[in-house]
A and B are shown apart, each in its own frame.
Chain A
Amino acid sequence: MSDPARNHIGGLFVIGATHHKVPIAVRERLSLTPEAADALRAELARLEGLSEFAVLSTCNRIEFYGVATHAEAATRVQEAFCRRQQFAREEFEQFRLRLHDAHAVRHLLEVASGLDSQMLGETEIFGQVKEAYAAAQANGHTGAVLNRFFQKAFQAAKHVRTHTAITEGQVSVANVAVDLAQKIFGQLAETRILLLGAGEIGEKTAKAFQSRGAGSLTVASRRLERAMDLATALGASAMPFEQREARLPEFDVVVCATSAPGTVVQTPAVAAAMHRRPARPLFFIDLALPRDVDAAVADLENVFVYNLDDLAKIAEENRAAREAELVKCHALLVERADALWKNLASRLPALTAEP
């Protein structure tokens, strides 16, 4: 009995570049604007020897999944991309990712599952792969092979997420902080957040809270104009830094990220705030160095204080836990990838090497 895959070696491919080998400065040059992506898709649609394709473009990867009817199809895709991005072919090939057939199948399954992501187990990539597939399908760039390929990849990714702990626990400090707030307050829609300091880490944490449905956000910075600028950017409100302790009872979560040389939240002020709102917990996320929150605040009842070290430790533990799940994830995916490749191989068109 003949193996159908033998007649189509190289027919299914992925070509591109990912964060594994490409530094961010180069990824910026490889990044496709929406307009460039549309133009490139139109060009690829006319490419000889390419019967189906999909473009996955994220901040960490640019990948072209294709079904070839010509042995040089993948190379032609690469040339079209490099030409459009004005990127030297030789430079691209230094860090290029190029996989065929069963290896390409396994790669997409790993990508969709978040196993190939910079932040292991993240789930945003799943949506990005879905968008890439939807765009290709809407433009008529997919067919019998890629349709099945992507749909099975989504099923496999869901299977991995459901049957392993690869997505459990947050691995960034900002998201760990939001997770902790949810352990205290549950849904964050009613939670009032005060951000002290208008620096980058505070902003990131505020955004993480907003992305998880936080109700209201107020920014206070020693320079009021900076607080107002950030508040405008975040759709929040601003308040004078001097009012931070007096208005403490109004807030549930206080993200402290100032560059002050000493503490800016003192124990008596927190005790007074808790006296006015005894039943509702108060959560301090102290991201500052030196710390913004007086150490004795943590001893108050119903008050929780987590500093940068605490959050980093939790993030690291979560990362380690995810890595420990990798073996299980790969075992699940290999089985599915092999079965999928056998199925896809029978659908691939015959390859030609003629010009």
Chain B
Amino acid sequence: MLAGLTDRSWLWIAAACYLAGWVSGLVSILRGTRQSGPAINAFIFAGYIFQLVGLGLRGHAVRGCPLGNEFELYQFTAWSAITLYFVVGVTFRSSMLGFFTSSLAAVLTTVALAIPAWDATRRAGIFGGNPWIELHAALALFSYGVFALLALTSVMTLLRHHSLKSKRLGGWFSFLPSIIDLDHISVRLLWTGVILMTAALAMGANYWLRNTSLVHLPKLLVTVSVWAAYATMLGLRVRGLLISKRFAWACATMFGLALLSLWPVNKNHEPVTPPPAAQP
């Protein structure tokens, strides 16, 4: 029965799993217990596998990394964030990062699925048969996943600051990690994201210098702007000029802008075609 499911069906199941992880965490928080960690992680892991199957089917059908429209971009970003969560999540106490990550993944995947227009067409031949461009695109999107996780740790930092300043420490505030732990992981994520995006842009630049007419200028400007913004934030953080709450606000806000940037990034000169038939 499962073998007959379409890529979108698998992705719907994945979104449901992420949503279930979020609900599980919410129930735990409302009850004031810390016992939902394994449940959240199980839902996230299940969602991750289902999403991998869905994206794999889509990738198989389009013969490449599925990054041809907004739907695929959002799905891939959510998947990247979850991948990173499995790497860094173990360093966090309790299930708070899992709760936040499942929330973000649920929102990104559900929104992408719920807007049919985002998957009505997709750009064909976006990689021009060049594996380096495919890697460039995948790395760039993966860095967005890193920035997604950075946005989550930043939101957690802001909540932790708020709870300590307002002296409201009970309830679910008690599950948040310490400010220093959050700061350390945020800085590491920012470094990771900037390095990945730099590598992605370097690959893209190499292609663009030889085929300037094939790259849409707004896409180029927006992508470089996102990279420059994160690189500047990293520079300011390293020099101690962007710290604490201002750093957290910058990271959270910047990710919102980065998500919006996916729309111009997706506009290029490639011919538009319908997505692959909804079949397994």
B177 at the A/B interface (Cβ < 8 Å)?
A: yes
B92 → chain A closest CB, angstroms: 11
Q: Nearest A residue to B167 by beta-carbon distance?
A: A310
> How distant is the Cα of A50 from the Cα of B179 in the complex, in angstroms?
57
A263 → chain B closest CB, angstroms: 20
Asked if A317 meets B180 with Cβ closer than 8 Å, knowing A184-B164, A278-B240, A304-B165, the reply is no
Contact, CB under 8 Å: A186 / B245: no
Contact, CB under 8 Å: A281 / B180: yes
Residues in A whose Cβ lies below 8 Å from that of B180: 184-186, 280-281
Asked if A186 meets B178 with Cβ closer than 8 Å, knowing A278-B244, A279-B183, A302-B244, the reply is yes
Asked if A301 meets B245 with Cβ closer than 8 Å, knowing A183-B179, A185-B178, the reply is yes
| Partner of A317 from B33, B170, B246 at Cβ < 8 Å | B170
B235 at the A/B interface (Cβ < 8 Å)?
A: no
Residue from B160, B164, B180, B244 having most chain A Cβ neighbours under 10 A: B180
B243 at the A/B interface (Cβ < 8 Å)?
A: yes
Contact, CB under 8 Å: A185 / B179: yes
For A, the interface residue count at a CB cutoff of 8 angstroms equals 22
B31 → chain A closest CB, angstroms: 10
B38 at the A/B interface (Cβ < 8 Å)?
A: no
Q: Which A residues from 280 to 313 make CB contacts under 8 A with B? A: 280-281, 298, 301-302, 304, 306, 310, 313
> How distant is the Cα of A281 from the Cα of B160 in the complex, in angstroms?
12
Q: Which B residues from 206 to 251 make CB contacts under 8 A with A? A: 240, 243-246
For B, the interface residue count at a CB cutoff of 8 angstroms equals 21
> How distant is the Cα of A279 from the Cα of B236 in the complex, in angstroms?
11
A201 at the A/B interface (Cβ < 8 Å)?
A: no
Contact, CB under 8 Å: B178 / A184: yes
Q: Nearest A residue to B181 by beta-carbon distance?
A: A186
> How distant is the Cα of A317 from the Cα of B181 in the complex, in angstroms?
26
| Partner of B164 from A169, A278, A304 at Cβ < 8 Å | A304
B171 → chain A closest CB, angstroms: 11
B169 at the A/B interface (Cβ < 8 Å)?
A: yes
| Partner of B178 from A183, A298, A310, A313 at Cβ < 8 Å | A183
Contact, CB under 8 Å: B178 / A279: no
A80 at the A/B interface (Cβ < 8 Å)?
A: no
> How distant is the Cα of A10 from the Cα of B169 in the complex, in angstroms?
48
Residues in B whose Cβ lies below 8 Å from that of A280: 180
Residues in A whose Cβ lies below 8 Å from that of B33: 165
Contact with B along A270-281 (1 / 0, CB 8 A): 000000001111
Residues in B whose Cβ lies below 8 Å from that of A279: 183, 240, 243-244
A182 at the A/B interface (Cβ < 8 Å)?
A: yes
Q: Nearest A residue to B177 by beta-carbon distance?
A: A186
| Partner of B243 from A165, A184, A186, A278 at Cβ < 8 Å | A278
Q: Which B residues from 173 to 212 make CB contacts under 8 A with A? A: 174, 176-181, 183
Contact, CB under 8 Å: A301 / B244: yes
Q: Which B residues from 143 to 169 make CB contacts under 8 A with A? A: 160, 164-165, 167, 169
Residues in B whose Cβ lies below 8 Å from that of A184: 164, 178-180
Residues in B whose Cβ lies below 8 Å from that of A180: 164, 169
> How distant is the Cα of A169 from the Cα of B169 in the complex, in angstroms?
10
Give the interface of A toward B (CB within 8 A).
165, 169, 180, 182-186, 278-281, 298, 301-302, 304, 306, 310, 313-314, 317, 321
Cross-chain pairs A/B with CB under 8 angstroms, 14 sampled: A169-B174, A183-B160, A183-B176, A184-B164, A186-B178, A278-B240, A278-B243, A279-B183, A279-B240, A279-B244, A298-B165, A302-B244, A313-B167, A314-B169
Top 9 closest A-B pairs, CB basis?
A186-B178, A186-B181, A302-B244, A279-B243, A278-B243, A185-B180, A278-B240, A186-B180, A184-B179
Known pairs A279-B244, A314-B167. 4 more at Cβ < 8 A? A165-B33, A280-B180, A301-B246, A306-B167
